[in-house]
Homo-oligomer: A and B are copies of this chain.
Amino acid sequence: MTNKKEIFAGIIVIGNEILSGRTQDTNTSTLSIWLNSLGIKVQEVRTIPDSEKIIVETVADLRKKFDYVFTTGGIGPTHDDITASSIAKAFNLKYGPHKEAMDILEKYYKPGEFNKGRQKMAWMPTSAELIYNPTSGAPGFNVENVFCLPGVPSILKSMLGGITHKLVGGKPILSQTINLKTVESEIAKSLSNVQKNNKEVDIGSYPFFRAGKLGVAIVLRSDVQSQIDKCNLEIIKFVKEKNIEIVEKD
């Protein structure tokens, strides 16, 4: 990468349901793809249980390591939703009803329906900045560089547009995939040489088995298109020499 100042993010997935295997996390890839498009590289994902102590420690650790931290999960109304109170603790801030969030939720519900359970969704660090939720009312929030989002994938997705202006990214990370009808061990040496000649490009090699086809996807990633193009040409060269078939893109 020639981007002198790379921008890094960490993701904290909060939830026993992910650790037990009951629920398949999909928010990581949603966040990563969106952050990539803003020139922000996800460098670490930590999935942790609904434990205040562990949330506080993990937030304290990652917010120093990375430019931005995103948490998913644990901001609903039930007893196992402890992200907001844990973030208040991590930043040593007052936890209580957030004035603007209370206003939003009061308007969102019909008169008389804004019960205690729902009011809990407005409890957070009282000085937090809100992240608006166009899907179901209850806002997320950020404190400094830590952005707290819900766990429900469709709601999380709908809230990303409201964060973009708060982030300063780098150059978008570009990628190109070349799918080959071969096995990794046939191309390992040649590919290693291409990587040595092109240190600025991140070259990944991923075997695939799909629709009865066996092959290798080579993924080139850089923030400079010309570097990807140069790398691509060198790969096409050895692929032709070895009589390896290029298959359609995925």
Contacts and interface: CB of A to CB of B under 8 A. Distances in A.
Q: Which of A17, A26, A78 has the most CB of B within 10 A?
A: A78
Interface residues of A, number: 64
A211 interface: no
Interface of A: 13, 15-26, 28-33, 36, 41-50, 54, 76-80, 115-118, 120-121, 152, 154, 173, 175, 184-189, 191-192, 195, 202-207, 209, 219, 221
The number of times this chain is found in the oligomer is 2
Contacts of A189: 116-117
A29 B204 CA distance: 24
A13 B202 CA distance: 18
Given A19-B32, A24-B26, A46 B49 contact: no
B205 A76 contact: yes
B185 A77 contact: yes
A79 B80 CA distance: 43
Main DSSP-derived SS at the A contact region: mixed
21 contacts: A17-B219, A19-B43, A20-B33, A20-B173, A22-B29, A22-B175, A23-B29, A25-B28, A43-B49, A44-B46, A44-B49, A44-B54, A77-B184, A78-B188, A79-B192, A79-B203, A80-B204, A116-B189, A117-B185, A152-B207, A154-B209
A203 B46 CA distance: 22
Given A189-B117, A203-B79, A21 B32 contact: yes
Contacts of A21: 28-33, 36, 42
Contacts of A29: 18, 21-24
Contact of A16 (B25, B54, B202): B202
B28 A120 contact: no
A87 to B, nearest CB: 19
A76 to B, nearest CB: 5
Given A79-B203, A189-B116, A25 B22 contact: no
Contacts of A13: 45
Given A24-B29, A28-B47, A47-B28, A184 B79 contact: no
A18 B188 CA distance: 21
In order of increasing CB-CB distance, the 6 nearest A-B pairs are A21-B32, A117-B185, A117-B188, A21-B33, A45-B47, A79-B192
